[in-house]
Chains A and B, each alone.
Chain A
Amino acid sequence: MAHEDNSKEKIVFVGDSRVRRGNGFVPPPDYSAYPGKSEAFIPNFLLKEWMVGVVVLVGILVLTISEPAPLGFPANPGATVIPVPDWYFLFLYQYLKLPYASGDYIVLGTMGVTGVAFGSLLLAPFLDTGRERRFYRRPIASSLMFLSLASIVYLTNSAWTEYKHEMAATGQVPEDVQREEKAAENRAKGLPTSSAVQAKEVVIVDKEDPAMAAYQKAGCVACHAADMKGAAGPSLRGVGDKHDKAGIITIIKEGYNNKMPPMYDTAINAGLTDKDIDHLAEWLAKQKTEQ
């Protein structure tokens, strides 16, 4: 990104911006080009930055070891939980609860004040166009910023105090604390410590029944799989919840919704008797999720 010497542009930067563009030849930046005690970025200053980085990294590690990241219980839409955003959104959250920023005035809250505040922050250089840089010589910009900072501190504090009060009033304990305690209790008893919801597998009822062999023999396995969990066809585990014995016999004889062909003849050809099929249907009707 070298700048050309013969540039006619109004503003020309030469390394450190304090160096004005002189007339004629501008020497390339090196140590001697700068007044004061400037330093080379590599290696001198980078070494100092690296040291600061190491100190910060150690700080973060100490924090992560002493305060593990919180985790509550799995999301459950039916739970009664006081919603609270991450701490840096608390001020906005609290602000949108104010009477003139909520309810009928919610547009004023979200678009009006918030929009103007963040919009003017985004466009600050185009609103505060004076050449003066010192903050005490820019009373309007600075006082608006101080006012915003004060309100952010106030709103964050009142949001947090309110949340604490609500928790105390309803006798709730933060869920991450509850989970820790529950896990510690279970650990002491030698039980599993997980709070995750375990997916229940539907089991095959009466797996030893001769109907299981008939199921294999009749060719049902081709679509419903040997473990009855389904392949081209749907799972038959828990099929008893949907169809009774008579319904299942009808399905075997006539097919189902044009998706499953009639299987009666196939079953007879495979060597099953009417009695076997009747028993198979009876057994399938017993396949219920809950016993």
Chain B
Amino acid sequence: MFKNVYNWIDERLDITPIWRDVADHEVPEHVNPAHHFSAFVYCFGGLTFFITVIQILSGMFLTMYYVPDIINAYASVEYLQTKVAFGQIVRGMHHWGASLVIVMMFLHTMRVFFTGSYKAPREMNWVVGMLIFFVMLGLGLTGYLLPWDNKSYFATKVTLEIANSTPVLGPVLKELMQGGSIVGAETLTRFFALHVFFLPAVLLILLVGHFIMIRRQGISGPL
């Protein structure tokens, strides 16, 4: 039954090469911790992706309750944290996951750097990886404001002051992010839009590029 359905689709769309390319590859000995324990350093990239998936899923559930306006944002987060069943767990996963994804990404970057894996022919993948790093930092920065408590409010004020100190572009940049002359309602909706739509979209595009490149080039050889 399933085979017939699969064959029917495959005849028309030739989907076999797509998944075979993902599924049918060899994992070489030098990255397999089962053979050399020190190869656990090669886990960090995969773990970064794993935690990114957790972030996306938990974030999707958080938006079911979160209200991005200055009157209700705090109240909705508090309600989520104290009243909603498992809300504390989901918010906790998103909060701690945000830190862990930075840790994992940092370790992955260090592994790639110290094994020299960014060298020719993998320069482009390194650049895309660094862009992913910056997008992740952007996600951390914008997400920090969303609970709209004093800590996030004052940290964002400082961040925007720093952005303001950039020569020439600074004031424009600050006003663009702030959506006006003060940190207020418009800032919150802008950060929300960046955190939930713009940055994740960029992140997903970059991740696809990162993965296509690693499949095309294969993992770098042993030292």
Contacts and interface: CB of A to CB of B under 8 A. Distances in A.
Interface in A1-59: 1-2, 11, 13, 15-18, 29, 31, 33-34, 36-42, 44-45, 48-49, 52-53, 56-57
A93 B155 CA distance: 10
Nearest to A123: B127
A145 B17 CA distance: 41
Given A15-B25, A111-B167, A145-B113, A64 B147 contact: no
Contact of B102 (A31, A88, A183): A88
Interface residues of B, number: 89
Interface in A88-141: 88-89, 93, 96, 106-107, 109-111, 118, 121-126, 128-135, 138, 141
B77 A71 contact: yes
A251 to B, nearest CB: 30
B78 A75 contact: no
Interface string B82-96: 100000110111111
A86 B143 CA distance: 10
B219 A73 contact: no
Interface in B103-125: 110, 113-123
A60 B158 CA distance: 30
A133 B119 contact: yes
B141 interface: yes
A176 B123 CA distance: 44
A198 to B, nearest CB: 8
Given A38-B28, A125-B127, A142-B114, A69 B91 contact: yes
Interface stretch (B4-12, B29-37, B195-203): B29-37
A290 B43 CA distance: 63
B32 A45 contact: yes
Interface residues of A, number: 88
Given A16-B219, A75-B74, A86-B155, A29 B26 contact: yes
Nearest to B114: A135
Nearest to B163: A110
Contacts of B26: 15-16, 29, 31, 33-34, 38-41
B81 A18 contact: no
Contacts, number: 242
Contact of B149 (A68, A84, A106, A175): A175
A39 B155 contact: no
B101 to A, nearest CB: 10
Contact of A76 (B24, B28, B150): B150
B179 to A, nearest CB: 16
Contacts of B117: 133
Of the listed residues B21, B94, B126, the one surrounded by the most CB atoms of chain A closer than 10 A to its CB is: B126
A87 B99 contact: yes
Nearest to A66: B92
Contacts of A133: 115-117, 119, 220, 223
Contacts of A29: 24-26
Interface of B: 17, 21, 23-30, 32-35, 43, 46-47, 50-51, 54, 70-71, 74-75, 77-78, 81-82, 88-89, 91-100, 102, 110, 113-123, 126-127, 130-131, 134, 137, 140-141, 144, 147-155, 157-159, 162, 165-167, 183, 212, 215-223
Given A2-B21, A17-B217, 10 more contacts: A34-B26, A52-B47, A56-B47, A60-B96, A69-B92, A69-B96, A75-B148, A86-B98, A86-B155, A194-B75
27 contacts: A2-B21, A16-B25, A18-B28, A38-B29, A42-B23, A52-B43, A56-B47, A61-B93, A63-B92, A64-B95, A65-B89, A69-B96, A72-B147, A75-B149, A81-B150, A83-B158, A86-B144, A88-B137, A110-B165, A124-B113, A125-B122, A134-B223, A142-B114, A145-B113, A175-B149, A194-B75, A197-B75
